Amino acid sequence: MKKNTAIKEPFTSPKEKKILGVRGLSAMATRAQILKAAINVFSTFGYEGGSTEKISKLAKSHDRMIYYYFGSKQGLYVAAIQEIYKQFNEAEAKVKLDIEKPEEALRKVAYFIWNYYQKHPEFITLLNNENLHRGEFISTSSETKDFSTPAISIVDKVLDQGKRIGIFRQDIAARDIYLLIASMGYFYLSNQYTLTAFLGEKITTKAKLVHWGNFIDEVVLRTVSSGHQV
């Protein structure tokens, strides 16, 4: 899985730019550059190895600006994790779904998540690092749980339509299906090196990745199906 070098910067609308003015835009740009650099550094070196010096150097800024905008290294680290969740939600919100065709819509959701993980390895490595810390840092923020709502609500709308027309099980929950999709993709990619050694085959060839994506689709649709042919 190649390192993603095109980590996004926070979006600023034309209206916001007009309100902020030159100084405000400069401050926002500096903060965005630091946050972008932090995601890169923390996903590469982890929390311990991701020093403020490395981050400020990559951001072409100064250590003091990190403390000015984020309060501490830990504050920046938490902001970096929240930012990758925010970027994920923003990308998912752009996926065009036809809710009237719930099977097709659910396939699109699964496809999006699987492909997003492949295109954004920093998302997986940064979360892996925080899991090694047992969520010690991210749990300090009450805002983090809010990021799960948009992602799960999309699945919920699709499932509701499928239930309404009788093709999806009535007892299936959006949270469970979201976790099913996410876990199948996340586990595969986050463990790709050990799985490759264990299975004796490279599991990240183009063909293998396409196969696993199709398998995720099949598992998800069989799980939600009320008995209709998928």
Residue 226 and residue 174: Cα distance in Å, rounded? Answer: 15
What is the domain-level CATH number for residue 95?
Answer: 1.10.357.10
Structure tokens at 198: 């264990």
The confidence score (pLDDT) of residue 229 equals 47
Number of domains in the chain: 1
The confidence score (pLDDT) of residue 24 equals 57
The confidence score (pLDDT) of residue 220 equals 97
The confidence score (pLDDT) of residue 2 equals 46
The confidence score (pLDDT) of residue 140 equals 84
Domain of residue 194: give its range. Answer: 14-224
Q: Which helix (H) or strand (E) holds 187?
A: helix 174-190
In a domain, 218, yes or no: yes
Q: Which amino acid is at 98?
A: D
In a domain, 7, yes or no: no
In a domain, 4, yes or no: no
In a domain, 3, yes or no: no
The confidence score (pLDDT) of residue 5 equals 44
Which residues in the chain show pLDDT less than 50? 1-6, 15-17, 19-20, 229-230
